[in-house]
């Protein structure tokens, strides 16, 4: 009887250890959950993207961006201001903003205007140039409701005619970003930031404007995920 009990207890012990090992293996193997043409790429980009809807916020980071995806079939050399992600057409700056959102869990805010911008390449070029010549201030159609809750603002835009798009002037003149940290990022066709960071500093003299912003060439936009992640890590937010 004692021998039977000992064998019985030994069997239970072996089964218990096996169950623990199985559970531990399952836990380890489970994975943890210049011109408008300078904002340009007509290549398809792989990978997931986060949109404004349902974005998870860290509570103090805002990613504000202006972006105009072109709708006509311009080839890569001519420069279509769009990138295609999972069959969705995005503006280049919009796509970079979404990559930044993935890395920071910040809130996305699209700077939109009451007026509509042309979707065709040549018309957009002319339209943007005329706005710059007229020193226009396009009326904004979207507003930030809780600006005080953000300490860090990523500010994204295409380099148009070696300058900020004119809606960015409206945005920076309408909002007081004093005491906040502004981190610029731009998409371009070879001209980088031009003097746009200095312009942001002039328009927001009481904000801290990070000069080590992210500048992404139109040809690199579809493959920029690792560059964005590395840049965000270096900011040590």
Which tens digits make up the pLDDT trace of 35-83? 675 564 434 333 333 334 333 344 699 999 999 987 765 443 334 466 7
Q: Which pLDDT belongs to residue 11?
A: 45
Angle made by CA atoms 87, 91, 96, in degrees to the nearest 5: 100
Query: 94 forms bridges with which residues in the sheet?
Result: none
Token pair for 197: 């960071």
Q: What is the pLDDT of residues 103-153, one digit of tens each?
A: 999 999 999 999 999 988 889 989 999 999 999 999 999 999 999 999 999
Confidence tier at 17 by pLDDT (50, 70, 90) = very low
Main-chain phi, psi angles of 153, to 5 degrees = -125, 110
Q: Give bridge partners of residue 157 from the DSSP assignment.
A: 186
Note if the pTM is more than 0.85: no
Is the Cβ–Cβ distance between 66 and 111 less than 8 Å? yes
Average pLDDT over residues 10-18: 40
Buried b (16+ CB within 10 A) or exposed e, 173-187: eebebeebbbbbbbb
Mean pLDDT of the chain: 79
Residue 198 has pLDDT above 50, yes or no: yes
Q: Over 60: is that where the pLDDT of 221 sits?
A: yes
């Amino acid at each position: 009887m004692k021998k039977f009990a000992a064998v019985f207890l030994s069997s239970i012990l072996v089964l218990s250890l096996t169950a623990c090992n199985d559970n531990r293996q399952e836990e380890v193997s489970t994975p943890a959950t210049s011109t408008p043409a300078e904002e340009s790429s007509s290549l398809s980009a792989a990978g997931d993207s986060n949109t404004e809807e349902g974005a998870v916020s860290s509570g103090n980071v805002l990613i504000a961006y202006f972006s105009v995806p072109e709708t006509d079939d311009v080839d890569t050399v001519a420069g279509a201001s769009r990138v295609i992600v999972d069959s969705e057409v995005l503006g280049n700056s919009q796509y970079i903003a979404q990559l930044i959102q993935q890395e920071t869990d910040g809130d996305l805010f699209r700077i939109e205007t009451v007026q509509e911008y042309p979707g065709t390449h040549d018309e957009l070029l002319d339209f943007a140039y005329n706005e710059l010549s007229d020193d226009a201030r396009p009326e904004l159609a979207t507003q930030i409701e809780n600006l005080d809750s953000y300490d860090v603002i990523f500010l994204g835009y295409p380099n148009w005619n070696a300058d900020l798009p004119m809606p960015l002037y409206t945005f920076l003149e309408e909002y007081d970003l004093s005491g906040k940290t502004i981190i610029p990022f731009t998409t371009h066709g070879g001209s980088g930031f031009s003097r746009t960071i200095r312009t942001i500093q002039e328009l927001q003299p009481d904000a801290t404007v990070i000069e080590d912003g992210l500048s992404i060439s139109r040809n690199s936009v579809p493959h920029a995920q690792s560059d964005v992640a590395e840049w965000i890590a270096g900011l040590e937010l």
